[in-house]
Amino acid sequence: MGLKLRVVGVGLGLAAVAGAWWVWWPAAAPQDAGGRRGGEVRPVPVVAAGASRRDVPIYLEGLGTVQPYNAVTIRSRVDGELVDWAVREGQEVQAGEVLARLDGRTYQAQLDQAVAVKAKDEAQLELARLDLKRYLELGNRIAGQTVDSARALLKQVEASVRVDQASIDSARTMLSYTVIAAPISGRTGIRQIDRGNIVRAGDSGGLVTVAQMQPISVFFTLPQQTLAAINDEMRRQGTLSVQVTDSGSRAVLERGQLELMDNQVDQTTGTIKLKAVFGNEERHLWPGQFVNVRMLLTTRVGSLVVPAAAVMRGPQGPYVFQIKPDQTAEMRPVTVGPVDGGEAVIESGLAEGERVAVDGVAKLQNGSKVTDARRAGEAPGGKNAGEAPGGKSKGGDKR
């Protein structure tokens, strides 16, 4: 009797386990990549977008360095004590504006001496002219040698006066060097020497630098493979538009023009150096700053574009999942052109108006059934939209 009860108990337990498995297994069965769960085909929720046409700007991008349009290191051309700074550090100055003054008393004395020597020689010149005139008036009553000597003396004194004038000009120039002026308009930097120090003409450090920041230059490099295209567009357009963008937000900081390309390719890096000029009215650009540069090469009119997130890459190259009218996904090989602003140009493989999966492609295979995740209230990847705001599948961002 006891044996029978045990057998019955074991049978009832097995039946209970089998019933529980029968109820639980369909819900727990893994879902395959085609949306099938335990033999049941479920559509994969995706976000789709249509291929459309628009004008696509073609940019060449590189890393650039900001440099002053002109920069001058102010040095003294004479020796002397620095007696005055006429400007502050970091001040905007105009060309010809006085920056500093040296003690000029020594050079003033040299100028006064040269002026006095000229006055003495001018007196000798006047006397030589009178003597020659007197000898000529006497005519034959005076020896010809005396007249010739008078003429020679007059020429010597005239030459002395010209030498004196040159000495005056030199002394006046040396005196003017004691007043140091800005050769260009720009912004002064940090001064390298303080008032009261002795300045030497041979000092290599200089007194201060003046940098022209309006306009300002940006030097950047591009691969040598772009050289032919740049030359063609410059011949066609005359000049090319260049932008400086913020490294974080990609916002445009300044707009300018390409001024020149270097006359040789850097054989070490295989790049060509270019120079662009910007107005810099808002002072967004500062000398020595590293910036991102975008140069507009051309604009492709009426290009077929799709969101760049829809383009993925496989062993056979780039492809997209095209959503057919029967709501199935077809893996479609495509030829991809430039990518700009989150959109990729499709050279071939798609037609205008065809829809492609942009998000939720991780579980897609060729022939998978799909559904619009926005209509179903379900986020791509199978989660409820309320539970996973903006829930993107990892595979949807590959390209």
Percent of the chain with pLDDT over 70: 83
Determine the structural domain holding residue 172 and report its residue range.
105-176
Angle value at C-alpha 304, between 299 and 305, nearest 5 degrees: 90
Domain count, the chain: 4
- Is residue 16 included in any domain, yes or no? no
Residue-wise pLDDT for 166-180, tens only, equals: 999 999 999 999 999
One domain, residues 93 and 168? no
Among 22-31, 135-144, 210-219, top mean pLDDT goes to 210-219
CATH number of 144's domain: 1.10.287
Domain boundary among 300, 329, 348: 300
**Is the confidence at residue 384, as pLDDT, over 70?**
no
| Whole-number pLDDT of residue 39 | 52
- Is residue 7 included in any domain, yes or no? no
Mean pLDDT lowest among 137-146, 164-173, 266-275: 137-146
- Residue 334 tokens read as 């495509």
Least Cα distance to 303 among 344, 361, 354 occurs for 344
Mean pLDDT lowest among 10-14, 125-129, 172-176, 257-261: 10-14
- Residue 329 tokens read as 């996904």
- Is residue 6 included in any domain, yes or no? no
Angle value at C-alpha 309, between 230 and 374, nearest 5 degrees: 145
One domain, residues 78 and 203? yes
One domain, residues 322 and 233? no
One domain, residues 94 and 184? yes
CATH number of 327's domain: 2.40.420.20
CATH number of 270's domain: 2.40.30.170
Q: What's the pLDDT band for 21 if we cut at 50, 70, 90? A: very low
**Is the confidence at residue 87, as pLDDT, over 90?**
yes
One domain, residues 81 and 198? yes
CATH number of 196's domain: 2.40.50.100
**Is the confidence at residue 47, as pLDDT, over 60?**
yes
Residue 41 burial by Cβ neighbours in a 10 Å radius (0-12, 13-18, 19+): exposed
**Is the confidence at residue 362, as pLDDT, over 80?**
no
- Is residue 286 included in any domain, yes or no? yes
Least Cα distance to 91 among 210, 217, 233, 1 occurs for 210
- Is residue 123 included in any domain, yes or no? yes
- Is residue 160 included in any domain, yes or no? yes
One domain, residues 157 and 202? no
pTM above 0.85, yes or no: no
One domain, residues 169 and 191? no
Mean pLDDT taken over the chain: 83
Give me the amino acid identity at 45: P
| Whole-number pLDDT of residue 376 | 52
**Is the confidence at residue 162, as pLDDT, over 90?**
yes
Least Cα distance to 241 among 299, 297, 301 occurs for 297
**10 or 188, which is more confident:** 188
Residue-wise pLDDT for 195-249, tens only, equals: 999 999 988 889 999 999 999 999 999 999 999 999 999 999 989 999 998 877 6
One domain, residues 98 and 183? yes
One domain, residues 64 and 132? no
